[in-house]
A = this chain, B = another copy of it.
Amino acid sequence: MTDQTSADGVTEQSFTLGEITGVLFTPQGTTGPRPLILMGHGGGQHKKAPGVLARAHRFAAEGRFAVAAIDAPNHGDRPKDEQFIQFAADMRARMAAGENPTGQVAAMHDLLAGRAVADWQAALTAVQELDQVGAGPVGYWGVSMGCGLGVPLLAADSRIRAAVLGLLGVHGLATPAARVTVPVQFLLQWDDSLVPRDQALALFDALGSTDKTLHANPGDHGGVPAFETGDALRFFARHLG
């Protein structure tokens, strides 16, 4: 583990756990149990992508949460296997040809989900053994691919008590989504060119949670407004605080 503390008072600790490469963000100098947020990244991104870093720092500095981010299988510092490389090339080609990638995206998430769920479960167990995290309540934040891998995780692991999800359609996720029962804040981009609006509304609808809120904003896939980070912070404070 390597430690590095940033100017905003957040300590970043890189870790590896078998093949899992991750980073833990905590408020500097804190000890004892605290709520933990698992933060999944989008497709093609990694555990320290700019959006993940910005959000993790704000959650740790402002919300006093611990935040754990790991590379998804075939992403970031992890090796890429042949099947993934072929899948990714096929998806890029279809998108370049103007096809909507809904089916390919769902197949890619399905390819990664089994391993990703096991990785998150192992990382959660390991991180909660650290003194500065402990066995406090746990949340999950993940949109786009982070939602595609997060829904199966939430369906499988009852340790996670609240989640921010979104930017994805129902394709391939109806069954695990129905098994999600924890409070959810669901982000939708009204003019998302990658995710058809009715598919995203259908995924929100499919979630089994009785406490779920849809936050929809104008703009394309990458255009979630900055104020939604504050809304997510308050959502986690309400459910994990």
Residues of B contacting A227 with CB < 8 Å?
A: 238
* Number of this chain's copies in the complex: 2
In whole Å, how far is A226's beta carbon from the nearest beta carbon of chain B? 11
A218 on the B face (CB < 8 A): yes
Residue of B nearest to A213 (CB): B217
Q: Chain A: interface residue count, which band? A: 20 to 34
A214 on the B face (CB < 8 A): yes
In whole Å, how far is A213's beta carbon from the nearest beta carbon of chain B? 5
Residue of B nearest to A197 (CB): B201
**With contact pairs A227-B238, A238-B227 given, residues A212 and B205 touching in the complex (Cβ less than 8 Å):** no
Residue of B nearest to A227 (CB): B238
A115 on the B face (CB < 8 A): no
A to B CB contacts below 8 Å, 23 in the list: A188-B214, A190-B205, A190-B214, A201-B201, A204-B216, A210-B218, A211-B218, A211-B225, A212-B217, A212-B218, A213-B215, A213-B216, A213-B217, A213-B225, A214-B214, A214-B215, A214-B216, A214-B217, A215-B215, A216-B216, A227-B238, A230-B234, A231-B231
| A interface residue numbers (CB < 8 A to B) | 188, 190, 201, 204-205, 210-218, 225, 227, 230-231, 234, 238
